[in-house]
Structure 1
């Protein structure tokens, strides 16, 4: 029987950030409880205070943040008043953490296995050979292929999704009583996401581990949580059983969130122009033919084929999407197109020109016409640059306009991506994750490119902002005849935004077709598996 004494009780919690000479309250009198073995999901848009609330529980607020009121009771102890030494003992062993950003939270100079083993050794769980064996088991548990070989690799040798899974392994390493999971699966494809979340549910059932889940994905919250708490502008506006809140939301903000959740039944945002009852054909801006990319495996004579005989085109003014599991080769394909990785063999033509043979000057001109938006907004923005400078930087590098005109362009782009002008002079660390990604999108649009490569560009965004960004992308495409290569693990979003879709598995394209064909009449077993794993396709059992 589950204890009725809360494992975690947050009482009237308030948190403020010091900006300039004043405190700005970002969490206001929040109260909630998490029982042993319970999963509580906190949902809300970027900047709502959900991640700050979680950071306050673990006392990991940024230097300018502090708890200004209330209590954080973990097993009856008020963590708001605990010493740093006490918190060091609690973190990892009592309260595990899976942070949102793998690149900022994994040491690039340490092997992944050593970083997981460190968590075991610090808390006296295991050391030496026993720790290594435990690490291999943890990597296998979170879905890392060939864990005995991967254990000695560095973070840069992992895909984005694999890095996130390594963080999950660290969070679970000491089998904590409470796991704070801050967007733990935002970088993961749906099949691995399901595997990870199934594992968290097993821990909850078997060990009484409670999960404090921070997410912008309401479908995921509905499927996985016992209780859903909705935050808006720093306040808790609604709390209740997941099924009840989602069936009959009491607050207008919750209703707005639910309306914005993408699903396989959502209205599509793009359709090709029609003439005489049929789609108008257009020439390919990009032609990719028999593309291969082979990587050497560190410490071995073996090689890893990341992209294997890939062929497809990107028509002018159309959106071509690539979906597949983390490590399937979709991001590597994007990097090859962008010229960020060397092609092993095959051809890439852009507007009739062979990209792989471009000289330095021609490559510089090519990059003005092709702009990326990467998965990780934390790593893609210079921490020393203001938002305005980050957006204007491509214009300065390519010597477009004057300093004054570049500032005007930056202001216009901020408005296009639904950011207030007040953020122009802020630094990246002063923005939420979703706000940072919007800045990255604005920067990509600065040079008016012909092709934008979007690698998980909306995966970090809450559903309201995600809907705005997707509509913006569709509108820009209609106005400017932009072409997009859209890389995503979110199949519902892919269906809404794509003209054609390619499904990748283990470096190869296993199925191609229009969005309607792929999502309504899939032919490959792997595609059907991806569709079945979408959150919301099964109901959470009571």
Structure 2
């Protein structure tokens, strides 16, 4: 038998809270062979990411391994010194973390951060390191890699930042790559390219992949073995085809039953002859360049409307201009040309008082749940904050509203006193959605708002959004790379590429009869479609 590259034996992990120690990983055992891809799937907060952090000895300060062994390449990492772990990370075990923004240094150029990893582990230095950086960025699908290497993280889209982290994780060609939701921020075409590259590494070098994902279709297509986690325990494990084709555990069956597909059809019909709440006309945004750079056109002649009570979606690859369009609509950035009219009023003409009133009527849910919550605020305070700023209700009424919203987004009341670092990524995103709904807005702009959520919670949130739309007549601008979700909830869809809208239509027209080659390419790249 082949000796496992990684063997986790009876691992338990606990977190120290203000009241007591909480065990979040309970007696987990699993192994990964050289060249094997093992996917761990499960809902947000099930212990997936904590298990991976324990392997790499990167638990937060209040976390500790309470029992068990983690044997990597013959060495028990639980007993390894800090210096030994520093040598192992990067060279032996590569890491692609879940959150691209907090794991990149905002003060360093992207290329310098990747080159630093190469130099620390003696892979390359100087000019050779810079050339390798360009190769890595090109490999993960970043166009004009040499120019992009000189840019800073804030000049990259969320998906591009994630690709930079993937390049960093692969830089030293490690024996094991821990990939924690490595493609959750990526469109399906780039996702396929990245995962194809991981498979190529596995074939060439025997690199093993420890894949953490809530995307069951991705796990079924890419993993050799799937382990299902629930409440800190592995409840089912085995070959991917067997686990996901014929699940034995009730929880696995629930997960599979909640997965959206391109055959999903929205039940709710759009209101007939609904007036337009938003009219976007000829929108253009050019970001100026530096050091002789001519600049970058992020949005180019984009026009669309959002009728009252309807969901309009924008899909497209990372860097296509989706999030920039959302920021312009939210009034967080000013267009270079064109106009945005909200309820008949041009945003360009709003004064400070009118803009404050506008922000109450339009609320965002941003892509990154790690950066969108104040780390010093409890969950309750984060939800209450917009109510306080807009002077809505008494303190007691605000607390009651916060409790009701927590229940609506499927978070227990006990979460109210927790801080963001005590929550999983999916739990943080649910808090962000609850906060956005606190002011009962007319329009909610959701920028990849469900991409960090497992399928069970995602289904609950999408049903909540549909229910609120039916009850309150809410309008949504829904930005996503998850085409199955877009198909399920959208009344109208716009496909963006390179800052332009290349195809528009109803959900049925776009997904059943796509006319543009790029739209056809997006649909063909969905995991499980080949």
Shorter-chain TM-score category? over 0.9
3-state secondary structure, aligned to 1:28: strand
Q: 1:66 to 1:301 in 2, by over 3 A?
A: closer
Match of 1:247 among 237, 245, 248: 245
**Is 2:425 aligned against 1:433?**
yes
Separation of aligned partners in 2, 1:288 and 1:155: 29
Partner of 1:224: 222
Separation of aligned partners in 2, 1:50 and 1:472: 26
Could you report, residue by residue, the CA deviation over 1:376-399 in whole angstroms, capped at 9, with x for unpaired residues?
A: 010000000011100010011111
Partner of 1:420: 412
Partner of 1:345: 337
User: What does residue range 391-430 of structure 1 map to in structure 2 within 5 Å?
Assistant: 391-430=383-422
- Compute the displacement of 1:219 (Å): 0.5
The answer to whether the 8 Å contact 2:189/2:522 transfers is: yes
**Is 2:457 aligned against 1:465?**
yes
Separation of aligned partners in 2, 1:437 and 1:94: 32
3-state secondary structure, aligned to 1:102: coil
Partner of 1:25: 23
- Compute the displacement of 1:21 (Å): 5.1
User: What does residue range 249-328 of structure 1 map to in structure 2 within 5 Å?
Assistant: 249-273=247-271, 280-328=272-320
3-state secondary structure, aligned to 1:372: strand
Question: Structure 1 residues 463-472 or 16-25, which shifts more?
Answer: 16-25
Partner of 1:238: 236
The answer to whether the 8 Å contact 1:322/1:488 transfers is: yes
User: What does residue range 14-413 of structure 1 map to in structure 2 within 5 Å?
Assistant: 14-20=12-18, 22-273=20-271, 280-413=272-405
State the Cα RMSD in Å.
0.8
- Compute the displacement of 1:265 (Å): 1.4
Q: 1:41 to 1:269 in 2, by over 3 A?
A: farther
The answer to whether the 8 Å contact 1:269/1:474 transfers is: no
- Compute the displacement of 1:288 (Å): 0.3
3-state secondary structure, aligned to 2:101: helix
Q: Unpaired runs of 5+ in structure 1?
A: 274-279
3-state secondary structure, aligned to 1:130: helix
3-state secondary structure, aligned to 1:103: coil
Could you report, residue by residue, the CA deviation over 1:69-97 in whole angstroms, capped at 9, with x for unpaired residues?
A: 11101011100111111000000000000
Could you report, residue by residue, the CA deviation over 1:412-468 in whole angstroms, capped at 9, with x for unpaired residues?
A: 111111111100111011111111000000000011100000000000000000000
3-state secondary structure, aligned to 1:105: coil
Could you report, residue by residue, the CA deviation over 1:238-281 in whole angstroms, capped at 9, with x for unpaired residues?
A: 110001111110100000000111110124253224xxxxxx12
Separation of aligned partners in 2, 1:300 and 1:496: 45
- Compute the displacement of 1:298 (Å): 2.4
Question: Structure 1 residues 12-21 or 105-114, which shifts more?
Answer: 12-21
Separation of aligned partners in 2, 1:301 and 1:88: 38
Instruction: Give the structure-2-normalised TM-score.
Output: 0.99
Question: Structure 1 residues 339-348 or 3-12, which shifts more?
Answer: 3-12
Could you report, residue by residue, the CA deviation over 1:317-366 in whole angstroms, capped at 9, with x for unpaired residues?
A: 00000000000001100000001111100010000000122111111111
Partner of 2:479: 487
User: What does residue range 2-17 of structure 1 map to in structure 2 within 5 Å?
Assistant: 4-17=2-15
Could you report, residue by residue, the CA deviation over 1:40-61 in whole angstroms, capped at 9, with x for unpaired residues?
A: 0000001111111000000000
3-state secondary structure, aligned to 1:179: strand
Separation of aligned partners in 2, 1:251 and 1:417: 25
3-state secondary structure, aligned to 1:240: strand
Could you report, residue by residue, the CA deviation over 1:519-542 in whole angstroms, capped at 9, with x for unpaired residues?
A: 00000000000000111112xxxx
How many residue pairs align between the two structures?
A: 530
The answer to whether the 8 Å contact 1:290/1:346 transfers is: yes
Separation of aligned partners in 2, 1:249 and 1:302: 55
Partner of 1:276: none
- Compute the displacement of 1:304 (Å): 1.1
Separation of aligned partners in 1, 2:337 and 2:265: 39
3-state secondary structure, aligned to 2:105: coil
